[in-house]
Each structure stands twice: as structure tokens, then as C-alpha cells.
Structure 1
Amino acid sequence: MIEINFDGIVGPTHNYAGLSFGNLASSNNAGAVSAPRLAALQGVAKMRRLMALGLRQGIFLPHVRPNVSWLRTLGFGGDDAEVLATAWSTDRALVANALSASAMWTANAGTVSPGTDTVDGLCHISVANLSTMPHRAAEAEQTERQLRLAFADPRVFHVHGPVPAPFGDEGAANFMRVVPPSGGRGVEIFVYGETGGGVFPSRQRRTASEAVARRHGLNPDRTLFVQQSEAAIAAGAFHNDVVAVANGHVVFAHEHAFADPAAFHAALRRIVPEVAIIEVPADRVDLDTAIRTYLFNSQLVTLPDGSMTLVLPAEARENAGVWTWLTELIESGGPIRRLEVVDVRESMRNGGGPACLRLRVQIEPDALAAIDPRFLLDDAACTRIEAVVAREWPEAIAFDDLGDPRLWARCHRACTALTQALGFQPDEI
């Protein structure tokens, strides 16, 4: 199997409107001035670094913003400029939702089950409905369009539409997969929330997780449904990938990530006895620190030589306690052999670290040709993206700028320029 990380390109409307209740970074930075150009360039630099490590990389394009069609469903009429102007004068929050660049968090694009795990041998992808938050629920249509375009070959892929909205589904941000060291079939782990700890909403429902597992034709004996800790949700772990990540036979998690970690660990060990569970104790890194530094929202990846690397945000290195624990982890000689630090600070201030920016897709090597090549990244494509971003992306956006028609027009032109530079037609995306 080979793995491709598909990162979202940070869109030109990236701003700090504080739309995501329960996401502490998003709330704490609400009203600040964003830097869309820098955020996008930092994202491309991260992708370049992973490619330099020998990993395969793909991209998804920013969604069309402002989302005028969404505002039209709320009763605003006229041409696009009139819709936006009327909406801004009526309810600024609606326009902020319509300008959200949160589709960059492609870990929420959908849930992916490789063909080794499914009954029909196809790689199944279910689009997430993201129904908990209005600005994210509006993403599903455009996300599905890109997924169906990228993974159109029915001999390899089966793309499913979203689960009905009442059953909240946040995609791969609440999903892990563990594979024995020898490879083969994996154990697919769906993490769901219940009450949200009485503070913030839990975003993933067990019903949605079970529906995705049925759609994908997963073996029930190799599928686990695990409840997220209410303490983690209350502390701001709005998705499981803020407190846990898995790769190969390794699970890397906070002590308080799951409601019943002992039961989860026992169930997983029954299926994969060789699983390595690395649990960070709360007395070394408390939940607040883990969430603030996005320690677990790192990419745990396997390099071509078979060793594992943890790709961390710079904030993890800047915290003495976190970095000391990580240094001890590497020195212990366990399965994680290397730490790689990347700077994605500008996008992370909106509530997601390196792992939020990517959707993992695992396929057989001969299936690589079944993916639309325009979604696969190389150095030349990186250079084209960087050139468009440097030329077209706004340097800064304050909240009041969201009502400026010049910004609306500029961001529309920017997305059009990017789609053309990468070989897409505007009506494809």
C-alpha cells in the first residue's frame, strides 16, 4: 500500500471570524487580522517538506468563496454583489460564514477506507456532512464535487455522498486506522462523542460512524466504535485528532483522549496484538497544553525506509514541557524515530494543525494512475501554486474587510487563477 496525503490549499478568504464554537484557537483569535497569503505559503512549504522526506502529496483546491449560492438559499436576491451587500447589512455573521476558508481542513472532507478493508476491494470514501457548524455544513457539495473528480475511476474508488445531516459526521478527523506490522487488512476505528462534556458540542455521532462503516462494507470484527472523552471535548478537543493519531501499528494519544481507554486498548490488542500504544500521561502534558500546542494534531507518517516520523507544529517545540517529553520519546528507541517541525502558525490560529490540513488516502501502487493527476503534487505544481498565491492572495484581512466588494471580487479572481494554473476549468470545482 502507498499513502497519499491530500492537503487543502488555504483559500484567499482565510479570516478570523471565530465561527467554530468549541474550537479554542478559532474563538481566541476571533477578530484578529489574518494573513491569507502567508497561511497558504506555509501550507505549501509543509507539503514541500513532506515530499522531500519521500512522501506522496496531493491537494484539494479552495472552495468558491464568497458562497453566494448559500446566501441565496437564505432568501437574499439580486446579482452576486447585491446578495452580498444585502446580507452584510442584514447579518454580518452570515457573510462571515459565506466567506469561510475552513475547507482547507481536508481531514474533515470525508472518511476513507482502503480496498484491503472493504468487502468489494474498492477504496470507499464518504463525504462528511459537517452538520454541526453552518460554515462547515456548506462545504459538503463542493467537497463531493472534488472527491468525485479526483477519484472518478469506478474500478478503484467508490465515493459516497454525505450521511443525512441530523447524524453529525466530521470525516477522518474522528477516524483512525491501525495495521499489523506485516500489513494487510486494517482495523478501522471510529471515534464519536456524546454530550460534549456539557460545555461544547460533540461533533461526531455514533450513528453516522456506523452508517459509514456499513456503506464501506467493513468487517465488523475489525471495526471499533470508541467514545471520545467528555473531558477532552470540554477542554477544546472538538475532534479526536486533537488528542490522538494513529499510523501503521502505532496509536499516539493523550491519557484522557477516550472515555474508556483500557477497554479500547484491550479490544484493539485482541485484533492486532502487535499494536504499540504510546500514551502521553496527563501529569507530563495536561489536556490544555496538548490542545494549545496541537501536539496530537501532528502527522504521524511512515518514511520510505520504514521508520516513523512525527510532523509537528512549531508550537510543540516552543513548549518546554511538550518538547522535553517528545525528546524522551525519541531517545527511548520506540517506533517513532524522528521529529519534524513545520510552521503552519497562520492557519493553526484558526483551529487546526498539520494533521487537520490533510486527508489520507491509501491505495495499491498500481491504482495511482486511477487518480486525476491534477490533484497530485510535484515541485512544478508547488511553484505554480506559490506564484498564484504570491500574486493574487490578500496579504491581510480584518473582520470589517469581509463586507468590502473589492475583497469579494479579488478572492473570486484568485481562486479562478489557481484553478487555471493547475489545469482545471472553473465549472469543474
Structure 2
Amino acid sequence: MVLAIHAGTGEEITLKVTAAPIVVKGKIIGAVAIHSDITWGKRACPYSPALDTGEDLLTHEKALRRQAENDLHKANAEIQALKDRIQSADIYPFQEVNHTYHFGEVIGQSRCLENVFFRVEAVAPQDSTVLLLGETGTGKGLVARAIHSRSLRKNRPLVMVNCTALPASLIESELFGREKGAFTGASAQQLGRFEMADKGTILLDEIGDLPFELQAKLLHVIQDGEFSRLGSSRTVKVDVRIIAATNRDLYEEMRLGRFREDLFYRLNIFPITIPPLRDRSEDIPLLVEYFLEKFNRKVGKNLRNVTNETMDRLMAHSWPGNVRELESVIERAAIVSQGATLQVLDRFSAAGPAHPQDETKPLVDLERDYISQVLRKTNWRIEGANGAAHILGINPSTLRGRMRKEGIRRP
């Protein structure tokens, strides 16, 4: 405690001083001090001549002690808050972004994702068939849900079928249904996924893996809206919107004879390419913040901060597994982290592309892949200082000729 002169009254007062050091990265850079006026009879609990019994004096002293304890608690809270603000200088500053796009877990503000959201909003109210293209883990299923939820069919079912998860021997009956006795083990009639999706939407995920012999039947459904159950000659009519998705290069699949051209052109009415995460690294902080909130609820934590060093590591990684990989990393980190700061323990490879090129590929294939990669990075802009032709060092007309020759088309 120290004696001082009250600035307003000029009276001598007694001050209680509470101080604490400010430590940043193990070094004391200053101190914070809180001064509380505890002068007898000068503040909230003034002394009165009426307090002339021992019991009254004791009550008065207890009141003063409670006030002093409250002042001390408040001072310590203010000191801790100030220390937290100073130490948070190394914390990545999550910010509200005015132009953030948000369809469920499809979140971002990058230019390449802006094009995805624009196309989703444009096609959702229509009944047109949509083809979603993109690598594994980019969120094709989430985009399909976004399209369905914004469509006129949103109150009807969205039926999702993974064409790789079903055995080739069962996929026909799963898609189109079966009659009792259609094959050994078919003990009862079963509705197919198309009938379940009637008046709604069906997502055919990994359509590039659909067996070739079933592609003609699917084409018939798309064209005429009708099919027959396995083991039946009766025609079933359905009203279904089709969304197909694949991580395969369907142009290459057609060239190899594994995918029907007529089916492709029926599916490719309105293609949407979802960019890989490595092409939109500026969206990573938004995704990290979203997943942080999600896994706080799931694991019962209160993680609020990510250090700049951690965010730099996350943004520098190539993310071969895309958003799905990032989500897994954040969930693991949320489980092991203590306190308020996320601790990412994963070790990321510092070198090497996400998808190393196959050295056995013919040169013409490598050139086609590289041209396609540059076009995607420039958002299919050909001319100008930032266009693909300038980056490739060729004339724009030459690039257009190569694109026609190699069958490279904008999705």
C-alpha cells in the first residue's frame, strides 16, 4: 500500500497496488499495475460515528474486505485480459469476410470457387442434368446437396448412389430394382434407387466407374425417363433430376472405349468443375475456422486460436486429399490440443507435387496435361498478360489449335 494525494480533493488517501509482469515469449517486456483507493471512510463504505459498537465495526470491516477482494479480482481479470491481448500478437487473425460463399461445408472466397457458386445458383432452379467434375475430396457431394436444396425438388428426396461401392453384379438391381425371383437370392421385390428418387434428385457419384454394359440402360432412363426392373418386362416411368459426379477424365475414358460418348453428351449438359484445394489456398483460413467450430462442438473443446506458424504450414501444404484431408487434420488436432490454441502435430511433406506425373506417359499426353493445368490456373483465359498462351509462350491461335486437336474443352 502507498500514500497519495487525491487529485480532486487534495486529501491524503491510501492506495492498494496490484501489479503483474507482462511476459511475451519468455521475456518480461513491462508490467501492469492497478491502483485501488482503500482509504477508510472515503469511498463506498464510509465510517460513521454511529459505528460505536464492536459488532458494527466488525460488519463494516467485513464489507471493506469484500470490496477489496472484488477490486483485486477485477484487477487480476483486467491484467489477464491485457496479457492475453499482447500474447495474441502471434495468433492468426480470423476476420469476417464480406464476400464469403457458403453452401453447407463448401466455403470460400477465391475467384475459382466464386465461379462454382455462380454456376450452382444458375442451374439449381432448373431441371437440367448436371455433371460435377473434380478430384477426390473436393466436395462434389456437398455441391450436389447445394443444388438439390436450391431446386424446386428440395422437398423431395435426394438419393445418392456411389457407383464404385456396389458390386458390378448388384448395381443394376440397386439402380433399377428387381422382381422377386429375378436371380438367385432375390426373395422379394425391391425398388431401385431411381424409383426412390421419383420427383426428386439422384446423385450418381463416380459415374466414370459405371460398368460399360449398364451405360446404355442409364442413357435410356435419361432420354425417356423409363426403365424395367430386373426380371420384369413392365415399364416403370420416373421423373428424376440427374446429377452425376466423377474424378475421372471422361474424355480419356471415351478415348479408351470405357465410357459411351452418347451418355457423356447427355450428362454433360451443365458441367461444374470443383477446383482442388491447392488452387484456392486463400480459402484455407475460412475452412480452418469452420472446422474449428465444428470439432469444438464434437469433442467438447473451446479452441479459438491458430498461430501464424501453423496457418502458414496449412496454407503451404499441397493437400492431395483436398478439403477432406484438411478436415481430418483439424479433427485430429482438436482431439489432442489443450487450452485455446490449436496444435497441429501432422508433419507435411515440404516437397513434391500432390500428383507426381507418370514418367511412362507419352510426351503428347504430358503436353496435353500441362496445357489443361495452365488453362485451369488461368480460369481458361487464353489471351492477355495473365492468359494461358502468354504463360505457355505460344501464340493464342496456336493454343486454340492445340486445344481443338487434343480435345481440350472448358467444362
Q: Same fold (TM over 0.5)?
A: no
Scaled to the shorter chain, the TM-score interval is under 0.3
TM-score if structure 2 supplies the norm length?
Answer: 0.24
Question: Rg: which structure is higher?
Answer: 2
Higher RCO, 1 or 2 (CA under 8 Å, sep at least 6)? 1
